Amino acid sequence: MPSPADRLYTKEHEWVQMEDTVGTVGITDYAQDQLGDIVYVKLPPVGQQVRQMEPFGEIESVKAVADLYAPVSGEVVEVNGELEERPELVNQDPYGRGWMIRIRLADRAELANLLTAQQYDDYIAQGADA
């Protein structure tokens, strides 16, 4: 299935959906499938500054632990607290209720570093590592 075209992607399999200056961040369907059953998501507190392509949290599945990379720099303005009790939402609805954080964008120019849905789908079709 093609990735949703209404957002941008990283090669580390995060997505960001922009609304004005705030971007909602999650991981892709491909990433949740590769990771398998998610058991824990560690997210930063509201107010923390994150930098593009630096880790903002960790995700743990029955198979592995992986870093979560920030698609854009800025301040964390909201965190999906529901994942604390229900990390399986990342598996069930990675593009919806499985969202992780919202970042107030520091530099709009950074969006140019991200992949479009088409570019991301081509990237995983070439056999990217999860």
Partner 1 sequence: MRFAIGRPDPKEAQTGERLSMDMSRPGRRALDLPPLDVPEAPPPPSHLLRTSLRLPELSQNEVVRYFLSLSRLNYSVDSGFYPLGSCTMKYNPKVNEEVASLPGFAHVHPLQQRHTIQGALYLMFHLQELLCRITGMDSSSLAPAAGAQGELAGMLMIKAFLRDHGQSQRNVVLVPDSAHGTNPASAAMAGFQVVTIPSNAQGNVDLEALRETLGPQVAAVMLTIPSTLGLFEPNIQQIAQMVHEAGALLYGDGANQNAFLGRARFGDMGFDVVHLNLHKTFAAPHGGGGPGAGPVCCKSHLAPYLPTPVVEQTDEGFRLTSPPRSIGRLLAFWGHFTVLVRAYAYIRALGEEGLKAVSTHAVVNANYVRTRLKGAYHLPYDRPCLHEVVFSTVRQKAKGVKALDIAKRLIDYGFHPPTMYFPLTVPEALMIEPTETESKENLDAFCEAMLAIAREAEECPEVVREAPHTTPLARLDEATAARRPILHWQGG
- Give residues in contact with partner 1 (CB under 8 A): 34, 36-40, 60, 62-64, 87-88, 129-130
Residue 71 CA to residue 53 CA, distance in Å, equals: 6
Closest contact distance (angstroms) between CB of 64 and partner 1 is 6
Please name the residue that has the structure tokens 């997210």.
43
Closest contact distance (angstroms) between CB of 17 and partner 1 is 26
Residue closer to partner 1 (CB basis): 39 or 106: 39
Residue closer to partner 1 (CB basis): 75 or 88: 88
CB 61 within 8 A of CB 38: yes
Residue closer to partner 1 (CB basis): 34 or 52: 34
Closest contact distance (angstroms) between CB of 41 and partner 1 is 11
- Full DSSP string of 19-80: ETTEEEEEE-HHHHHHH-SEEEEE-PPTT-EE-TTSEEEEEEESS-EEEEE-SS-EEEEEE-
